[in-house]
Amino acid sequence: MRKIDPADEAQLFATIDRWVEREVAPRVKEFDHADRWPAEIVEQMKELGLFGATVSQDYGGLGLPATTYAQIVMKISAVWMAITGIFNSHLMLALAVEKFGTEPQRRHWLPRFASGEIRGGLALTEPNAGTDLQAIRMTARRDKGDYVINGTKTWISNGIEGSCFALLVKTNPEASPRYSGMSLFIAPKGPGFTVGRKLEKLGYHSIDSGELVFQDYRIPADHLIGEVEGRGFTQVAGGLELGRINVAARGVGIAEGALRLATDYAQLRHTFGKPIIEHQAIALKIGEMATRARAARLLTLDAAQAFDRGDRCDMEAGMAKYFASEAALENSTESMRIHGAYGYSKEYDIERLYRDAPLTCIGEGTNEMQRLIIARQWARRSQA
């Protein structure tokens, strides 16, 4: 990914700040409470180039480094985390094609992804396979110049409103080890590809999470990413590093947003003749929240810098995702408690952050799995 001039980066951040303040913040309650797809905001994100944020400029994207992209996600997530999922899931699809696809695949698909003409996501999870991706059951059978796909995916972001997905399947269900029989396809909606029910969620509203059903779905062989079978698991694992950096950035945004809301409220709310921020019990909470948010930001930028250098960064991304998501959960909880009864009211923004935060502990691999990844990589690096 290209380096970005500091002046250009500052201008980009200022543009994002203005957009969030003028267009997103005034309408977030309207969309979130109704759990309604934010079509107008999606169009604005297209105009801002967010659907091509990390796509190379050679294919019509902004070509942003992960460090810049992560900070954009932080800024938006501090106000409304859910909409970052609309373009992040999409960018995971684009990354798979750009990193592992053939040049004809890149030329055909990436400009349309970058413009937002085609939007979609990553279709990995199945009813009986989440963290253990090797347990997927969806199959793709070669039939002359096509593949025929059967199976079901679930909890797929953009599943209803999106039109194209990076679809993980088994082209050789009998392969050993299991991952060697997995392949990744570019799968646009069409005959045999239907959308099941919309899944209702505690938070993370307005981005659709759906079931995708494939019944004799026929797809041309040139939709196999890289056009070589058996590489799907490796292709997905390579993209998850950036996905975890994104989730970490979301956690930072929530942690910082919750801190800001708590600080503002604690300076305005008076008890016993002074602002509650001057009471030791509240001051201690604010101090802990500020430290967590800062540490989460630094860990996330450290992982993004490693990604930009081209280093293996599963440990760094895992650390950032684990710590930042827990910081989001703890800060949103503490902020709600500082708000008292008002924190439990839908009239206040903190209740939304409180509902959204738990997802960051689950998405892109649970925090339990992140700790295992961290421990394994730490042990390997310690022996080097």
Structure tokens at 108: 């055909």
Q: Which residues 6+ apart lie within 8 Å of 182 measured at CB?
A: 133, 134, 136, 168, 169, 170, 171, 175, 230, 232, 233
Q: What is the DSSP letter of 126?
A: B
| Rounded-to-integer distance, Cα 117 and Cα 108, Å | 12
The strand pair at 193-198 and 270-271 is best described as unpaired
**Residue 347 catalytic?**
no
What count of residues does the chain have? 384
Residue of 161, 316, 326, 364 with catalytic role: 364
- Listed residue (249, 337, 241, 336) closest to 293, CA to CA: 249
Burial grade of 111 (CB within 10 A; 0-12, 13-18, 19 or more): middle
Beta bridge partners of 146: 143, 220
**Cα–Cα distance between 277 and 271 in angstroms, integer?**
10
Q: How many CA atoms lie within 13 A of 247 on its CB side?
A: 32
Tell me the β-bridge partners of 219: 147
Using only C-alpha atoms, what is the Rg of the chain?
21
69, 331, 345, 208: CA torsion to nearest 10? 40
Catalytic positions, please?
364
